[in-house]
Amino acid sequence: MRSPASSPSGSRPTAALRASAAVLALSALSACGSSADAGGGDSAGAPSELTVWIMRDSVTDGFLQRFEADFESTHPGTTLKVQIQEWDGIGQKITSALASKDAPDVIEVGNTQVAQYAASGGVKDLTDRTADLQGGDWIPGLAEPGKIDGKQYGIPWYAANRVVIYHKDLFAQAGITTPPKTREEWIATTTKLNSGGNDGIYLSGQTWYALAGFVWDEGGDLAVKGADGKWAGSLDTPEAKAGMAFYQQLQALGSGPKDADEAKPLQAEVFAKGKTAQLISTPGGAAAIVKANPALKDKLGFFPIPGKTAAKPGAVFTGGSDLVIPESSRHQAGAYEVVKALAGEKWQTDMAKEMSYVPNRTSLAGVLAGNEGASAMAAGAVNGHATPNSPNWAAVEANNPIKQYMTQVLTGADPAVAGKTASAAVTKALNSSH
């Protein structure tokens, strides 16, 4: 049964993203669980009331009702008490819960926030359960942020990532019948579309998640962790420079601003004017476009961000949710059963179809067949990545030096100098607690 949660206060997490069939939303989400007999929990099969925290709008009421009924019927004597949590203030609320002696049994958390919560020492290490949960099949961009220093604290629940949304009519007018599959093809296609008063692509100068994908494709990263445990920004590496060079080439084939991100102006509203051929967004962005211009209904297509070769799509940031189990859960065995069910094939399939999410396993991508946007997202998810797995990553985003670096390069600054400055800022933010 579900019960309302108390009203927390504070700010919403900024680093993760999610997409649903009806709503465009980017948010950080996750959940976790713990193993039986590890930390003084209940014994396997013992009747109990399990408290589960789920973030608002992560799943529908219908999904929760089906899951609750099924779980309680297959676990006689156990009652689920699902409490819907608000995003405002959730970070502090989870931190306080993990430090208490009466924490909920399972918590959904944003995948990029697992490191922060694990650093508190209040999250159960589930490394010995990954085989039972078929961890070898998890999509990498969702599994990686749940793994801290070789230990799996967060269990992947669902994912969302960016794709290319395109205007089918403009592609047809340009004689383009097949979406590009490589970077080289993408540039050629976009160049062809960038004519006749149309923009080949709308790409703002500070869409840093897209840049991160290009850097990952080159074998680089935004920051790296040294043997001494300290982090160092890496935007001044050859790999980062190559990723930025491709971003600059692509961005020049449209009229996006060089000193703003995709929210200024809202890129969906720009696209809705009907003169833009492509943009990078979660599939849910299509709903915002159609809302702004209903005439574009059925005129939007989707394809994965192209990679360096056709063998693999371009790298993408994977946002979504993990499930975690607090150390202080009094029902360890029952909590693990909840996590195992939610992360298992039956409920992954149900949720993917209901919410148009990417399921946590690569082998389940086919369940989205027939949903063009979600299928493109699932195809891209196989090359998913996460932001640097530091508890202090939020400090980087607070005054994002990556955005500043991008604008500087796009407006003529020396990439080497701008990259060095940005790397120093990232390094300082990530090591702020040292």
Could you tell me the CATH superfamily of domain 2-161+318-371? Answer: Periplasmic binding protein-like II (3.40.190.10)
8-22, 88-102, 150-164, 232-246 — which is least confidently predicted? 8-22
Please determine whether the domains at 2-161+318-371 and 163-316+389-430 fall in the same fold group of CATH: yes
Q: Which residue has the tokens 């891209």?
A: 380
The pLDDT of residue 48: 83
The pLDDT of residue 228: 94
- Which residues, at least 6 apart from 208, have a Cβ–Cβ distance to it below 8 Å? 261, 400, 402, 403, 406
- pLDDT tens for residues 274-326? 999 999 999 989 999 999 999 999 999 999 999 999 999 999 999 999 999 99
- pLDDT tens for residues 119-163? 999 999 999 999 999 999 999 888 999 999 999 999 999 999 999
Asked whether residue 20 carries a pLDDT value surpassing 60, the answer given is no
- pLDDT tens for residues 156-190? 999 999 999 999 999 999 999 999 999 999 999 99
The pLDDT of residue 324: 98
Return the domain boundaries, the chain: 2-161+318-371, 163-316+389-430
Token output for 384: 């998913």
3-state secondary structure 309-360: CCCCCCCEECEEEEEECECCCCCHHHHHHHHHHHCCHHHHHHHHHHHCCEEC
**Residue 148 phi, psi (nearest 5):** -120, 120
Cβ(381)–Cβ(317) below 8 Å: no
**Residue 150 phi, psi (nearest 5):** 85, 0
Token output for 4: 């309302």
Could you tell me the CATH superfamily of domain 163-316+389-430? Answer: Periplasmic binding protein-like II (3.40.190.10)
In this prediction the pTM is: 0.82
**What proportion of the chain, given as a percentage, has pLDDT over 70?**
89
